[in-house]
């Protein structure tokens, strides 16, 4: 999930809304990463999702469903909000979750 967020941020770095959506390769790569992000979120165990309500799992999954099943009907305003606000806010939450999981793995290994 972090890789997908990093992909979105990398593809859109230095671009405004028009720059993202007027260049097909940037648009497609960005939406692809958002779609894969949602698929990955959907595969996170329910117990982990429940333990971390600060991550808006349902919104992430719903964004994926809209992109994949929207048949090209993407609301650019909503997508831009995801790109410019939601993804940057999500990265530190995911990094904290990863650190927590790695800490648990280390504790269980000892």
- pLDDT greater than 90 at residue 71: no
Q: Which of 69, 85, 95, 106 is catalytic?
A: 69
Q: Which tops the pLDDT comparison, 66 or 34?
A: 34
Look up 69 and say whether it is catalytic: yes
Q: Residue 110's pLDDT is what?
A: 67
**If you average pLDDT over every residue of the chain, what do you get?**
92
pTM, two decimal places: 0.88
Domains contained in the chain, number: 1
Q: Which among 59, 11, 49, 61 is positioned nearest to 3, based on CA atoms? A: 11
78 vs 91, residue with greater confidence:
91
The range of the structural domain enclosing residue 65 comes to 2-109
Segment 28-49 shows an average pLDDT of: 96
Q: How many CB atoms lie under 10 A from the CB of residue 3? A: 12
Contact indicator for 12, 30 with CB cutoff of 8 Å: yes
pLDDT tens-digit map of 42-70: 999 999 999 999 999 999 999 998 888 87
Q: Is 85 considered catalytic here?
A: no
Active-site hit among 17, 52, 64, 85:
64
Task: Quote the pLDDT of residue 24.
Answer: 94
């Amino acid at each position: 999930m972090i890789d997908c967020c990093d992909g979105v941020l990398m593809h859109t770095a230095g671009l405004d809304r028009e720059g993202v959506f007027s260049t097909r390769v940037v648009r497609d790569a960005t939406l692809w990463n958002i779609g894969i992000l949602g698929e990955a979120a959907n595969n996170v165990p329910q117990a982990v999702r429940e333990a971390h309500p600060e991550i808006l799992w349902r919104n992430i999954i719903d964004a994926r469903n809209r992109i994949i099943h929207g048949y090209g009907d993407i609301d650019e305003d909503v997508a831009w909000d995801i790109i410019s606000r939601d993804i940057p806010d999500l990265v530190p939450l995911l990094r904290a979750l990863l650190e927590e999981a790695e800490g648990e793995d280390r504790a269980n290994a000892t």
